[in-house]
Structure 1
Amino acid sequence: MDRTMTTAKSCMIKPAWTPVTIGLMVLGFVAFWPLGLAMLAYILWGDRFEGMLRDAKDQWRGSPLKGAFEQMNTTAYARTGNVAFDDYRERELKRLEEERAKLDTMRAEFDDFLRELRRARDQEEFDRFMANRGRSTGDEATPL
């Protein structure tokens, strides 16, 4: 078992300046530049990735933000244990969603109304332009 694990580890690409890693970096830049950039980062800092990941996890464990995020995730839609309150909250959320849907419908209707109003105003301006154009060409056509 240890022998297969050692063999598998020896087949991995090491983060160093070897012909294989340089070739992969160049191919990455040719294919899609972020891939080449990722390979370059792996060559330069790949041996430190594991330590950086461990340090980040340690910092997150002691972070006050972790508790805030966990509290938001657990309390957002979690049941409180009080059935009456949970039912009330679900009814109110459903009512608010229905109100939101009504408001969205009214907004769409108002947008349609404004669009029609603009179209009517544009049509009126166009008709006025055509009437003035016809008058001005008609005046020029009659000799003095």
Structure 2
Amino acid sequence: MHNRPGWFARSEAWLDARGKGAWIAAMVLGFIFFWPIGLALLFYMIWSKRMFSKSCGHRTARHAAWSALKPSGNSAFDAYKADMLQRLEREQDAFEAFLQRLRDAKDKAEFDQFMDERAKKAANDRTDDSDDA
């Protein structure tokens, strides 16, 4: 018995590899050539959540993440991989903390600018009131 996927699975994988645009193009072409095919593709895209996902390759990405965690059988490579993943996680955490500090600094600068403008406006209003009296 062969373990080769059917034409539908191969077509689905081919479209997934090319992204959401390929799915939409296939749907539009289906509507142009024979409208029930386009309608079937639209319903399939909605049912499988391909229409609303950020990426059509979400299954492949999940599989790749899982396979990255599995041991390879080579202890030296597995130790290197574990060390590299930890280093990448630390770098990601440091980068996210850096971005948060940037956002906080920007927020503080915007707030300080607002308060300065408000104080200047209040000072101008006081000087205008004293000039009128």
Q: Which runs of 5+ in 2 are unaligned?
A: 18-56
Q: How does 1:69-84 map to 2 (within 5 A)?
A: 73=63, 75-84=67-76
- Aligned residue pairs: how many? 84
Q: Which runs of 5+ in 1 are unaligned?
A: 1-56
More displaced, 74-83 or 96-105?
74-83
The structure 1 segments of at least 4 consecutive aligned residues displaced by more than 6 Å after TM superposition are: 68-72
| CA-to-aligned-CA distance 1:19-75 (integer Å, 9 cap, x gap) | xxxxxxxxxxxxxxxxxxxxxxxxxxxxxxxxxxxxxx8434555838x88987364
Residue 91 of structure 2 corresponds to residue 99 of structure 1: yes
The structure showing larger relative contact order (alpha-carbon pairs under 8 Å, at least 6 residues apart) is 2
Q: TM-score, normalised by structure 1?
A: 0.48
Deviation at 1:138, TM superposition (A): 1.4
**Alignment partners' CA distance in 1, 2:10 and 2:132:** 87
Residue aligning to 1:65: 13
**Alignment partners' CA distance in 1, 2:129 and 2:8:** 79
Q: How does 1:8-87 map to 2 (within 5 A)?
A: 58-60=6-8, 62-63=10-11, 65=13, 73=63, 75-87=67-79
Larger Rg: 1 or 2? 1
| CA-to-aligned-CA distance 1:118-144 (integer Å, 9 cap, x gap) | 111111110100011111121112xxx
